[in-house]
C-alpha cells in the first residue's frame, strides 16, 4: 500500500451546517425538534465537536421570503441572529470553530469587525465570517441603509469591507495599544481607533460563497475558505483547479484557500437501504405543495390549479415575473423549464417527481463505509478540501454520521482523531495572517 | 404604588470604570455567577464604540449558558446601528438565555463615534434620544411581529407557520439627523421567551427622560440623595401615565456608585440601601462597583445577607425570566390583539 509510506496524506476537513430555513429540512419527522431554542444549537454543535469537526456554520436571514405577495409558509422559517448564538455556543464548546454568515451589504465595517473580533476573543480564536452580499431591494426594506446596490457594486463593497475589517483587526500595536486608523475608499470613509486588540488567531477566518468570475476572484484574493455547491467529482476538480489557479496572482499559496462544498448525506446498513431512505427523505422534502411552489418559482405564475402528480405546465415561464422574493434565483427560468421538461419526458416523470429529481443537491448516499471512501476520494483527487455537511434533521441529523462515518475516516487516516490546536486556523491548517502594514494613511 | 411597598430590586454593573474590559470570557462569567449567587435581578454591561472593550451583547451571550437565573442587560446604542440588527440580536439573547435578556438602550453622542461609521454626523442629545425611542418602538414591534403560536407545523397542509400570525410592522421613524427611515418586518426571529426583552434606559439626563417614560421597563436614575431619586421616580411615573402607560409597569432604580475596600463597608452599604428604601427613593438599586472583581464579592457576601436578614432581599429567584424577577408580566403581542379584535 502506498498510503502507509506516504506521511503527508491529504486529510479532509469537516464542518456542520445547522439546517435552517430551506425546504431540505424534514420538519415533519417525529425526531425533528425546535429550530430556534438554544438546546438545538447546543446539541448539533456538541455533536460536531465530538466528531472533531473544524467548524459549525450558521446561515443568515434578513427578510422572510414572500411568494405571491404573501409570507412563504411551507418551509422551516425563523432563526436567531448568528453571532449571538455563536457567542453562546462558545460557552459550551472548547475547540469547534464558529462560523457566522453576515451580510456585507447591510452592515458597516467598524461595527461588524468589532462583533467578529469579540467572538474571536470570547471563543479563544475560533471565529469565522462567511461574507455574503445582497443586491436585493426587497431585503433592503428592513434596513435604513436602504436596499439597492448594483450587482457589480456588491463585490466591490464586499472586497473593500473585508479589506477594511482586516485593517481594523491589525490596528493595535504589538504591545497591545490601539493605534489610530483611517480608511478612505469608494464605499467607506472612516477613522478612529478600534476597540478590540488583534485576536487569538490573528484574524477571524473568512469564508466566501460565490461562483461567478467576480466571486471566484474575490475568494482567491480575500477568503480562507470557499463554500461551494459543486457536487460531482469532475465539477469539483474543475472548480478547484480554477480557483486555486487564481491564488498565485494574489501572492497566495495553493494551501491558503480551502474548498468546502455543502453536501447532504444519507446513511443505511446497505446501499439499497440508503437509497430507499434517500428517496423517502426527498419525497418528504418535496411535498405536493412544495413541488407546485418550486414550479411557480420557475414559471413566475400561479400554478395552484395544476395537479402536482400530473405533467409540467405546457406554456413557457413569464420572464419578467417577481412572484417570489427573498430567495436567490438559481438561473434562467426558460432554461430551467426546458431542462425540467426534457427530464420529465425522458423519464416519464410527473411534476413532483421532476422537481424531486431536478432539485436534489449533492448527496453522499450509502453505507458508512462507502460514504467514507467516497468523501476520501473526493479530497485525495483534489475535487475539494473537505465538506460542510447539511443534515436534514434538527438537531440530531449529524449523530449517525459522527458515530459511524467519522471513525471510518479516522481509521483510513483521512481525518484527525484529536484536535491538534486550539484555533480554527490551526484546524484548517491556515497560517496566521501577517500583520498588515495597515494603519493611518495606508489606503488610497 | 409607593416604592416602599415591595422589597427593592437589586442589580449590578460588571464594568470596570476607566479600564478596558477584559477580552476573555472568564472574568465576566465569574462575576455574573457571583451576582446570581446573590439573587440579583440582573447584571449590566456598558458599551460604546470608542471605549476599548468587547461588544457587550456578545459578552452576555457568552455568559448566558454559564448562568441560569440572573438577568443579562447589555448596552446597545441606537445611533449608528441598524434597528433591525439591534432588535434581532437582543431577541436572540432572550432565546439563548431562555428569557433573561434586557437591553440598555443608549445613544452615541460624539463626532469620534460618528467618524467610525462615516455615514452621518453627530447630533444633539434631544434628537439622539428621539431616535432611540423610535428604535425601541420598532424593536418592540418586531418582537411582537410573530404571534406566540405562529409556528404550527401542520403536516397535513404542509405549512410550517400560519402566515396570518406573522405581521409586517411597516414602521416609519426619523433618524437623529432628520431623515426618515422605515423597517418593513416581520422579524426573522420568532417571538422570544419573554415576549419582549426588558428595555432599560438611563433617565438621569433630561433628554433621555421622555424616551424612558415612553419605552423603558426599567429606568435608571443617578441621584446624590433619596429625595432627588424620589422626585425623578415621581416624574417618570407621571409622564408614563400621560403617555397612556400603567406606571406600575415601570421600575425606577437608583444607580449608585459603590466602593467596598473593606468588609465593613459591605454591611454599611446594606444600611444605606435600607435607609434609601425607607425614604421611598426608588423601586430598587443599580449598583456600580468601583472595582467589580473586589466589590462584587463583598457585596454578595456582606451586603446581600444583611439585606436578606431584614427581609429586603429574597433568598431565591421567584421565577426563571428577568420579567419574573422584576414582577413584570409577559406582554401580549400587539398584533395578536388587533387581529382577534378585528375578528370579533
Which residue from B60, B28, B21, B59 is spatially nearest to B322, judged by alpha carbons? B60
Q: Hey, are the CB atoms on B82 and A106 less than 8 Å from each other?
A: yes
| Dist. CA B61–CA A388, nearest whole Å | 25
- Whether residue B200 is predicted with pLDDT greater than 50 in this model: the reply is yes
Average pLDDT over residues A131-148: 82
**Which pLDDT score is estimated for A322?**
73
Å between B93 CA and nearest CA of chain A:
6
Tell me the pLDDT tens digit for each residue of A334-387. 999 999 999 999 999 999 999 999 887 778 999 999 999 999 999 999 999 999
- Supply the pLDDT for residue B340: 67
Q: What is the mean pLDDT of chain B?
A: 95
Cell numbers that stand for B62 in this block: 457568552
Which tens digit of pLDDT belongs to each residue from A89-126? 999 999 999 999 999 999 999 999 999 999 999 999 99
Answer whether A31 touches B (CB < 8 Å): no
Residues in A touching B95 (Cβ below 8 Å): 36-38, 80, 85
Q: Kindly determine whether residue B58 and residue A111, on different chains, have CB atoms separated by under 8 Å.
A: no
Q: Which residues neighbour B216 within 8 Å (Cβ) at sequence distance 6 or greater?
A: B105, B136, B199, B200, B201, B203, B250
Query: What are the pLDDT digits (tens) for A236-287?
Result: 999 999 999 999 999 999 999 999 999 999 999 999 999 999 999 999 999 9
pLDDT tens column, B271-318: 999 999 999 999 999 999 999 999 999 999 999 999 999 999 999 999
Q: What residues in B contact A64, CB-CB < 8 Å?
A: 166, 186, 188
The ipTM, to two decimals, is 0.97
* B214-253 per-position pLDDT tens digit: 999 999 999 999 999 999 999 999 999 999 999 999 999 9
Answer whether A110 touches B (CB < 8 Å).
Answer: yes
HSE, side-chain direction, 13 A CA sphere, residue A70:
10
Find the range with the poorest average confidence among A133-147, A363-377, A390-404: A133-147
Enumerate the residues of chain A whose CB falls inside 8 A of the CB of residue B153.
27-28
Asked if pLDDT for residue A219 goes beyond 50, the answer is: yes
Tell me the Ramachandran region of residue B334: left when phi exceeds 0, alpha when psi lies from -120 to 50, beta otherwise.
alpha
Task: Determine the pLDDT at residue B55.
Answer: 98
Best of A60, A61, A122 to mutate (most B CBs within 10 Å, chain B): A122
Residue among A92, A191, A195 whose CB faces B49 most closely:
A195
Taking the model in full, what pTM does it have? 0.96
Flag if B189 and A83 touch (Cβ within 8 Å): no
| Yes or no, beta carbons of B92 and A77 under 8 Å apart | no
Tens-place pLDDT, residues A153-206 = 888 899 999 999 999 999 998 888 899 999 999 999 999 999 999 999 999 999
Percent of chain A surpassing pLDDT 70: 94
Could you tell me what percent of chain B has a pLDDT over 90?
94
Query: What pLDDT, on a 0 to 100 scale, did the predictor assign at position B94?
Result: 98
> How remote is the C-alpha of B230 from its chain's centroid?
21
- SS3 labels along chain B: CCHHHCCCEEEEECCCCCCCCCCCCHHHHHHHHHHHHCCCCEEEECCCCCCCCCCHHHHHHHHHHHCCCCEEEEEEECCCCCHHHHHHHHHHHHHHCCCCEEEEEECCCCHHHHHHHCCCCCCCHHHHHHHHHHHHHHHHHHHHCECCCCEEEECCCCEEECHHHECCCCEEEECCCCCEEEECCCCCCCCCCCCCCEEEEECCCHHHHHHHHHHCCEEEECCCCHHHHHHHHHHHHHHHHHCCCCHHHCEEEEEEEECCCCHHHHHHHHHHHHHHHHCCCCCEEEEEECCHHHHHHHHHHHHHHHHHHCCCCCCCCCCCCHHHHHCCCCCCCHHHHHHHHHHC
Distance CA A385, CA A255 (A): 9
pLDDT in tens, B182-194: 999 999 999 999 9
* A429 CB within 8 Å of a chain B CB: no
Q: Is A264 helix (H, G, I), strand (E, B) or coil?
A: strand
CB of B7 within 8 Å of any CB in chain A? Answer: no
Q: Omega before A411 cis (within 30°)?
A: no
Quote the cell numbers at residue A401: 454520521
Cα A171 to Cα A121, A166, A174, B21, B48, distances in angstroms: 16, 9, 9, 18, 18
Put simply, the answer to whether A80 touches B189 (Cβ < 8 Å) is: yes
Band the pLDDT of A21: cuts 50, 70, 90.
Answer: confident
Nearest CA-CA distance, residue B63 and chain A, Å:
7
Amino acid at each position: 500500500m502506498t498510503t502507509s509510506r506516504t506521511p503527508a496524506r491529504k486529510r479532509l476537513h469537516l464542518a456542520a451546517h445547522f439546517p435552517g430555513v430551506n425546504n431540505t429540512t424534514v420538519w415533519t419527522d417525529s425526531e425533528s425538534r425546535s429550530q430556534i431554542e438554544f438546546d438545538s444549537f447546543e446539541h448539533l454543535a456538541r455533536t460536531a465537536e465530538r466528531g472533531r469537526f473544524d467548524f459549525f456554520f450558521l446561515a443568515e436571514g434578513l427578510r422572510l421570503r414572500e411568494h405571491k405577495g404573501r409570507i412563504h409558509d411551507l418551509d422551516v422559517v425563523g432563526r436567531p441572529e448568528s453571532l449571538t448564538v455563536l457567542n453562546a455556543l462558545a460557552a459550551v464548546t472548547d475547540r469547534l470553530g464558529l462560523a457566522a454568515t453576515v451580510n456585507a451589504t447591510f452592515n458597516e465595517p467598524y461595527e461588524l469587525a468589532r462583533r467578529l473580533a469579540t467572538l474571536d476573543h470570547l471563543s479563544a480564536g475560533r471565529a469565522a465570517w462567511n461574507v455574503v452580499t445582497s443586491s436585493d431591494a426587497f431585503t433592503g426594506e428592513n434596513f435604513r441603509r436602504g436596499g439597492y446596490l448594483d450587482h457589480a457594486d456588491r463585490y466591490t463593497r464586499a472586497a473593500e469591507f473585508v479589506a477594511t475589517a482586516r485593517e481594523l483587526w491589525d490596528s493595535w500595536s504589538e504591545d497591545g495599544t490601539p493605534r489610530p486608523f483611517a480608511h478612505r475608499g469608494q464605499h467607506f470613509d472612516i477613522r478612529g481607533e478600534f476597540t478590540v486588540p488583534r485576536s487569538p488567531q490573528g484574524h477571524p477566518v473568512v469564508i466566501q460563497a460565490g461562483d461567478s468570475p467576480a466571486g471566484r476572484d474575490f475568494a482567491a484574493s480575500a477568503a480562507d475558505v470557499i463554500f461551494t455547491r459543486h457536487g460531482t467529482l469532475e465539477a469539483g476538480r474543475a472548480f478547484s483547479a480554477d480557483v486555486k489557479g487564481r491564488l498565485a496572482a494574489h501572492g497566495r499559496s495553493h494551501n491558503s484557500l480551502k474548498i468546502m462544498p455543502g453536501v447532504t448525506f444519507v446513511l443505511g446498513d446497505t446501499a439499497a437501504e440508503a437509497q430507499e431512505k434517500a428517496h423517502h427523505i426527498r419525497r418528504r422534502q418535496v411535498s405536493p405543495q412544495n413541488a407546485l411552489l418550486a414550479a411557480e418559482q420557475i414559471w413566475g405564475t400561479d400554478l395552484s390549479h395544476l395537479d402536482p402528480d400530473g405533467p409540467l405546465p405546457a406554456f413557457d415561464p413569464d420572464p419578467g415575473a417577481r412572484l417570489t422574493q427573498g430567495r436567490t434565483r438559481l438561473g434562467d427560468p426558460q432554461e430551467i423549464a426546458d431542462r425540467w421538461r426534457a427530464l420529465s419526458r425522458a423519464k416519464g416523470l410527473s411534476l413532483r417527481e421532476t422537481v424531486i429529481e431536478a432539485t436534489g443537491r449533492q448527496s453522499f448516499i450509502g453505507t458508512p463505509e462507502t460514504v467514507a471512501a467516497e468523501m476520501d476520494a473526493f479530497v485525495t483527487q483534489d475535487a475539494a478540501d473537505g465538506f460542510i455537511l447539511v443534515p436534514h434533521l434538527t438537531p440530531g441529523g449529524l449523530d449517525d454520521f459522527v458515530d459511524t462515518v467519522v471513525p471510518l475516516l479516522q481509521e483510513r487516516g483521512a481525518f484527525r482523531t484529536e484536535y491538534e490546536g486550539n484555533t480554527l486556523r490551526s484546524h484548517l491548517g491556515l497560517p496566521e495572517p501577517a500583520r498588515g502594514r495597515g494603519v493611518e494613511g495606508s489606503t488610497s | 404604588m409607593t416604592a416602599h411597598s415591595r422589597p427593592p430590586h437589586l442589580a449590578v454593573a460588571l464594568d470596570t470604570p476607566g479600564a478596558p474590559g477584559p477580552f476573555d470570557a472568564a472574568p465576566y462569567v465569574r462575576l455574573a455567577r457571583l451576582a446570581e449567587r446573590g439573587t440579583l435581578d440582573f447584571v449590566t454591561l456598558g458599551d460604546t464604540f470608542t471605549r476599548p472593550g468587547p461588544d457587550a451583547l456578545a459578552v452576555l451571550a457568552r455568559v448566558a449558558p454559564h448562568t441560569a437565573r440572573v438577568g443579562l442587560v447589555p448596552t446597545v446604542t441606537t445611533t449608528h446601528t441598524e434597528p433591525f440588527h439591534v432588535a434581532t440580536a437582543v431577541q436572540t439573547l432572550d432565546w439563548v438565555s431562555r428569557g433573561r435578556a434586557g437591553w440598555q438602550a443608549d445613544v452615541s453622542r460624539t463626532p469620534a463615534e460618528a467618524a467610525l461609521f462615516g455615514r452621518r454626523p453627530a447630533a444633539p442629545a434631544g434628537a439622539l434620544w428621539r431616535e432611540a425611542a423610535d428604535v425601541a418602538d420598532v424593536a418592540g414591534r418586531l418582537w411582537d411581529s410573530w404571534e406566540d403560536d405562529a409556528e404550527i407545523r401542520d403536516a397535513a397542509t404542509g405549512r410550517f407557520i400560519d402566515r396570518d400570525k406573522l405581521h409586517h410592522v411597516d414602521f416609519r421613524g426619523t433618524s437623529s439627523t432628520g431623515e426618515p427611515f422605515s423597517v418593513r418586518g416581520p422579524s426573522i426571529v420568532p417571538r422570544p421567551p419573554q415576549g419582549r426583552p426588558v428595555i432599560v434606559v438611563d433617565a438621569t439626563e433630561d433628554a433621555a427622560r421622555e424616551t424612558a417614560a415612553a419605552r423603558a421597563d426599567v429606568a435608571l436614575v443617578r441621584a446624590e440623595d433619596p429625595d432627588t431619586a424620589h422626585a425623578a421616580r415621581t416624574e417618570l411615573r407621571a409622564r408614563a401615565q400621560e403617555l397612556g402607560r400603567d406606571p406600575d409597569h415601570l421600575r425606577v432604580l437608583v444607580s449608585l456608585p459603590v466602593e467596598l475596600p473593606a468588609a465593613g463597608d459591605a454591611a454599611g452599604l446594606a444600611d444605606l440601601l435600607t435607609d434609601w428604601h425607607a425614604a421611598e427613593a426608588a423601586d430598587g438599586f443599580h449598583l456600580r462597583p468601583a472595582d467589580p472583581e473586589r466589590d462584587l464579592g463583598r457585596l454578595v457576601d456582606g451586603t446581600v445577607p444583611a439585606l436578606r436578614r431584614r427581609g429586603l432581599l429574597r433568598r431565591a429567584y421567584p421565577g426563571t425570566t428577568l420579567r419574573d424577577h422584576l414582577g413584570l408580566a409577559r406582554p401580549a403581542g400587539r398584533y395578536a390583539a388587533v387581529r382577534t379584535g378585528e375578528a370579533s
